[in-house]
Amino acid sequence: MRKTIIFLAVFVLSAGLLYAGTGNLIVDGNLGIGTTTPQYSLDAAGSIRVDNNTAASVMYMQAPAVNSNAANYFKALDLYTGIYNIPAGVTDSGYRVGLGVEGFVNDPNFGGTLAYQYGVWARNGSYASGGTIQNSYGVYIDTVTQGTTTFGNLYGLYQDSPAAQNYFAGNVGVGKTAPRYQVDVQGDVNVSGNFRVNGLNQPMGAVSGLKIVNDATSPSTTVDLSVSQVGLANASSQFVGLTNLYLVINSTVSGANGVDVLPLAQNTWYAVFVIWNPSTATAAGLLSTSATSPALPSGYTYQARVGWVRTDGTANAYLLRTLQYGRNAQYVVTSGSNTANLPLMASGTAGNVSTPTWVAVATGSFVPPTAAIISGTLTAHDMGYLAILAPNSSYGQYNSSTNPPWLMTFGQSGQFSSGLPFDMILESANIYWATNGPYYLFCFGWQDNL
């Protein structure tokens, strides 16, 4: 086999042989440099330096033509460092690099402007007008883990400089071979820092599948909390998302799955929190009179408020019977309990429906401080009277054609009136009503502003 190597001002010295010139050096067989038994067309036992300051390409290799069906495998440059032995008990604190590429400036006299600099430049694709390429990769990384070697760290791609930026013009798929979005992930996403949308911190995971209810066995002292997904935050606005939790919170104990401060207060709202201990990867529930800053047990640094419960006026400060799904909560009427009836907010006559004269009804004992909507009913029986209801006192009289009341009901004398249920957005800590007869204003529940 004949090989032709072109030299420009090259000197070859081997066993007394000296060649100098600019012509062709023709070698039949393999050419060995530093070895007398070359195994390849060019076999060098040592380093090779190629220096070309004029051409755009220092090395150019053309793939062979394919004229028939076959499984051809061509590598323009194949560097193999697989045969490398370290005996047991021996430690090599250095490294082995299959291909080392450096593209940086090391000349102290550099002072000009360079438009682009690449450590590695890879191009794939086609300029052809036809044909099919089933899979095309700019860079393909195959990490081999078929043996029994233990890896401290095994990376397919590693960026060492924290100052460096990484740019992808197309879509990026993680676990997906055909990403449809700029970042398309098949599987779970874990964020230990901040998750931002347009630069603003966002909680990781909305509250979904939430249920808070009095425990069936100990309804006066215990609530059961289940949630499919909830996002919690710490004091540094870092977020963690938790899924599929079931927590039992006992109002007679302090700490995790209890109350932050005992004893319980009577007729008091207690915020319901999901809390998280990152050191032990433990989730728990917590009751607190604070809607934003509960006294967290030791080790628990993440929190999310998910609802409210309220105590009654007895000495034991038992929990009222309530049921919450998502944002919506309501009182559970239960015979023989502290919610044997719906909470009555107001009754009798109040104000004047014609003037009108509105009377404020405080909502703080019936809905928690973060409630956005109050639900209830305005009702009377067997009476020919009027009642009006509004979220503020600027609404007009019962018969106004320009500024009517937010809600009005009329009980016809001698007939049964079922009343009018309502869901009203709260504008303040009061709602307003007026009635010229014995009406009843009951509270069904509320919608939390989670």
Closest CA to 257 of 293, 292, 229, 215: 215
Token readout for 40 is 């390849």
Does residue 408 come out as left (phi exceeding 0), alpha (psi in the -120 to 50 range) or beta? beta
Task: Dig out the tokens for 93 from the structure.
Answer: 């604190």
CB 284 within 8 A of CB 257: yes
Q: Assess whether pLDDT exceeds 60 at residue 5.
A: no
- Here the tokens at position 197 are 């949308």
Q: Does the pLDDT value for residue 6 go beyond 50?
A: no
What average pLDDT does the segment 391-411 reach? Answer: 93
pLDDT tens, residue by residue, 237-262: 888 889 999 999 999 999 999 999 99
pLDDT of residue 12: 44
Q: Exposed/middle/buried for 288, CB within 10 Å: 0-12, 13-18, 19+?
A: buried
pLDDT at 117: 86
Q: Give 318-366 as a DSSP string.
A: PBP-EEEETTEEEE---TTSTTSSPPEEEEEEESBTTTTB-EEEE-TTT
Contact 448, 309 (CB under 8 A): no
* Mean of pLDDT values over 199-223: 84
Going by C-alpha positions, the residue among 292, 324, 297, 294 that lies closest to residue 309 is 324
* pTM, two decimal places: 0.62
pLDDT for the residue 8: 40
Position 348, amino acid: G
197 confidence band (pLDDT: 50, 70, 90):
low
Q: For residue 356, say if its preceding peptide bond is cis, omega within 30 degrees of 0.
A: yes
Separation between Cα atoms, residue 378 and residue 409, nearest integer Å = 7
Kindly state the tokens that stand for 53. Answer: 């300051």
Q: What is the dihedral of CA 25, 28, 34, 36, to 10 degrees?
A: -150
Tokens at residue 170, please?
Answer: 């197309």
**How far, in Å, CA of 327 to CA of 246, rounded?**
18
Helix (H, G, I), strand (E, B) or coil at 58: coil
Look at residue 17 in the predicted model and tell me its pLDDT: 56
% of the chain with per-residue pLDDT over 90:
46
3-class SS of residue 263: coil
Tokens representing 446 are 């509320």
* Residue 203 pLDDT grade (very low, low, confident, very high; cuts 50, 70, 90): low
Are the C-beta atoms of residues 176 and 184 closer than 8 Å to each other?
yes
Instruction: Give yes or no for residue 35 having a pLDDT over 50.
Output: yes
Average pLDDT in the chain: 86
Query: Scanning the structure block, which residue is given the tokens 């630069």?
Result: 199
Q: What is d(CA 399, CA 351) in angstroms, rounded to the nearest whole number? A: 16
Query: CA–CA separation, 417 vs 410, rounded Å?
Result: 8
- pLDDT digit string, tens, across residues 102-129: 777 888 888 899 898 888 888 888 888 9
What pLDDT was estimated at residue 400? 94
Q: Quick one: what percent of the chain has pLDDT higher than 70?
A: 85
Task: Tell me which of 227 and 143 has the higher pLDDT.
Answer: 227
CA distance 138 to 143: 16
pLDDT (mean) for 6-32: 61
Contact yes or no for 270/293 (Cβ under 8 A): no
